[in-house]
Amino acid sequence: MLAHSVFFYFFSIIAIFSSLMVITSRSTINSVFFLILDFISVGCLFIMVGAEFLGMIILIVYVGAVAVLFLFVVMMLNVAEQKQSWFIGKKSTHIPIGLIVSVLILLELLVVVGGWKYKNDLMSSSTLNLSDISNTHQLGLVMYTDYILYFQLAGVILLLSMIGAILLTFRQRKGVKKQSYLNQISRNPSSSIELKDVESYKGVKIDD
């Protein structure tokens, strides 16, 4: 039990410290690295409470894919300059909206935590026996039976947002040369090489 609590405090201190560093560090790239550290330590906390499936999924989805895209965006765009200009420059349109969103999130969190506090029998209402089967099996048993509608709905929402993102960035450019793989593969010597007898002092035209 001692080792368990030592590791719990170790991971939670890292998680809290790195989440603070995400919002306070000057360089945006360091923010992203601290965000990754935060994800990893939260994943470790999940594994420690026995939710190994969730912990691994956090590692795969958030650290392995989402954070990579964050890094991409931060590296490719000049986020650092923009950030500087918000704080040093005159007006920022982002801070008021950001404040509203964060206050809303705080309120929502309070509602959720309060709900647990006052109706803690919700937690124990699960019909599954949590002790003797691994949590991957538990998730599988519930996700595709009781919660199939929500699961499908989440999938459809993701699909829609993907189509939306593609539509936003899709534009047809003119004058772009496209390669047809079929044509490239199906070329053979007889269709691409032509032998010609060249007369002296005359030469050949290429485009005949």
Partner 1 sequence: MMEYLQILGNEVYKILFLLVPILVSVAMIVWLDRRVWGLVQKRKGPNVVGPFGLLQTLADALKYIFKEIIIPASANKVVFILAPIVTMTLALVAWAVIPMSEELVLSDINVGVLYLFAVSSLGVYGIIMGGWASNSKYPFLGAIRSAAQMVSYEVSIGIIIINVLLCVGSLNLKDIVLAQQELWYVIPLFPMFVIFFISALAETNRPPFDLPEAEAELVAGYQTEYSGMMYAMFWLGEYANILLMCAMGSILFLGGWLPIIDIYPINIIPAPVWMILKILFLFFLFALIKAIVPRYRYDQLMRLGWKIFLPFSLVYLVLTASFLFYFDKLPKGNF
User: Which residues in this chain contact partner 1 in the complex, by CB under 8 A?
Assistant: 2-3, 29, 33, 36, 52-53, 56-57, 59-60, 63-65, 68, 71-72, 75-76, 132-134, 136-137, 179, 181
> Closer CB to partner 1, residue 1 or residue 104?
1
Evaluated on CA atoms 145, 149, 151, 155, the torsion sign reads positive
Least distance (Å) between residue 181 CB and partner 1: 8
> Closer CB to partner 1, residue 65 or residue 198?
65
Least distance (Å) between residue 67 CB and partner 1: 8
Least distance (Å) between residue 144 CB and partner 1: 12
| Residue 38 and residue 22 in contact, taking contact as beta carbons nearer than 8 Å | yes
Helix (H) or strand (E) holding 34: helix 28-48
Residue 147 CA: distances (Å) to CA of 30, 139, 142, 151, 155: 39, 10, 6, 6, 12
CA dist 14 and 20 (Å) reads 10
> Closer CB to partner 1, residue 4 or residue 119?
4
CA dist 174 and 95 (Å) reads 39
Least distance (Å) between residue 16 CB and partner 1: 21
Residue 20 CA: distances (Å) to CA of 31, 32, 34, 35, 103: 9, 12, 9, 9, 17
> Closer CB to partner 1, residue 64 or residue 115?
64
Least distance (Å) between residue 64 CB and partner 1: 3
Tell me the HSE value of 103 on the side-chain side, using a 13 A CA sphere. 6
| Residue 51 and residue 135 in contact, taking contact as beta carbons nearer than 8 Å | yes
> Closer CB to partner 1, residue 15 or residue 51?
51
> Closer CB to partner 1, residue 12 or residue 136?
136
Least distance (Å) between residue 140 CB and partner 1: 9
Measure CA 98 to chain center.
Answer: 20
